[in-house]
Amino acid sequence: HSADFAEDVSLTDWIAPYSRITAAATGEDNETLLRGTLGRLLFSGDEVKKSVKVISGGEQGRMLFGKLMLSRPNVLLMDEPTNHLDMESIESLNTGLDKFNGTLVFVSHDREFVSSLATRIIEIKLDHQIIDYRGTYEEYLSSQGLD
């Protein structure tokens, strides 16, 4: 996703088009929505003026999550969403996904992340056997004798 951040624009200017669309659709104040979104992404003060060209991979990930939040999808497909994120960002992502009202399908090797969100586990084994378990990750482990 580095191509998304090739232009020399501020974080505010990069995410503004998405906040304007959402604000128009919801009737929210665009400036409040914009600042609130950047705040939830852990960017505040003068940080919002820095160029997207100089932000780290983790910060790019957070900005992409902001774009997703403002797009208000009802289904999210995520592949290893906690990769390249620091603990504070993972906690923020986890909080946001916990509040997400839509369907979330994700692949993750982060057991703590899986434990905090999963309500259905689909395991694809090496022999192509598929286990479809409806319950939490801890319940799934217990059902497999893997406490």
Domain boundaries, the chain: 1-72, 73-146
Across 6-139, the runs of DSSP E, i.e. the strands, are: 75-79, 103-107, 120-124, 130-134
pLDDT digits (tens, 9 = 90+) for 96-145: 899 888 999 999 999 999 999 999 999 999 999 999 999 999 999 999 99
CATH H superfamily, domain 73-146: P-loop containing nucleotide triphosphate hydrolases (3.40.50.300)
Give the mean pLDDT of the chain: 92
What is residue 43's predicted lDDT score, i.e. its pLDDT?
93
Across the chain, the runs of DSSP E, i.e. the strands, are: 75-79, 103-107, 120-124, 130-134
**Across 65-78, average pLDDT:** 90
| Neighbouring C-beta atoms of residue 88, cutoff 10 Å | 11
